[in-house]
Amino acid sequence: MLGSQDDALELTQDTFVKAWQALPQWQPEAQFRTWLFRIASNAALDALRRNRLVDFVPLEDSFDAPAAGPDPERQAQATQEVQKLEASLKKLAAEHREILLLREVEEMSYEEIGRVLSLSEGTVKSRLARARAALIEIHARSRQ
């Protein structure tokens, strides 16, 4: 979300400090994971607003492409696809990137995402559908 591994590491540290400070307010009936993600999400959005950042962390730094064997052409194509996807993700609104990351990368359920983002499950589903549609549209336009 922040576009920099160093910024993400700093935000992670800040998130854990904020969580430690807010621990007395945590309610045991709430899942700790979603409570912590909510703190991290708010901190990331605050940082984006403060710095007016809309970049996306490059996928190639952490992307494990399937082994293509010794075929360099196939590897080059995979790299190009990752770069095109990364460029498409950069064009998405921050709220769309966030909900896609929580669902597709963090593999959170709709219910967990709803708790993290303070949204109903139905709203999560509709926003996720809009985010996916926007990503598909952006990606399709970039291929033309």
Residues 123-133: tens digit of each pLDDT: 999 999 999 99
Q: What six digits make up the tokens of 99?
A: 């909900």
pLDDT reported for residue 79: 79
Token pair 């959005």 is found at 45
Helix (H, G, I), strand (E, B) or coil at 56: coil
For the whole model, what pTM was predicted? Answer: 0.54
Contact 61, 5 (CB under 8 A): yes
The predicted-structure confidence for 7-59, as pLDDT tens digits, reads as follows 888 888 988 998 898 888 888 887 888 888 888 888 888 887 776 644 445 55
Residue 116 burial (CB count, 10 A): 25
Q: What six digits make up the tokens of 43?
A: 């901190």
DSSP class of 84: H
Task: Name the E strands within the chain.
Answer: none
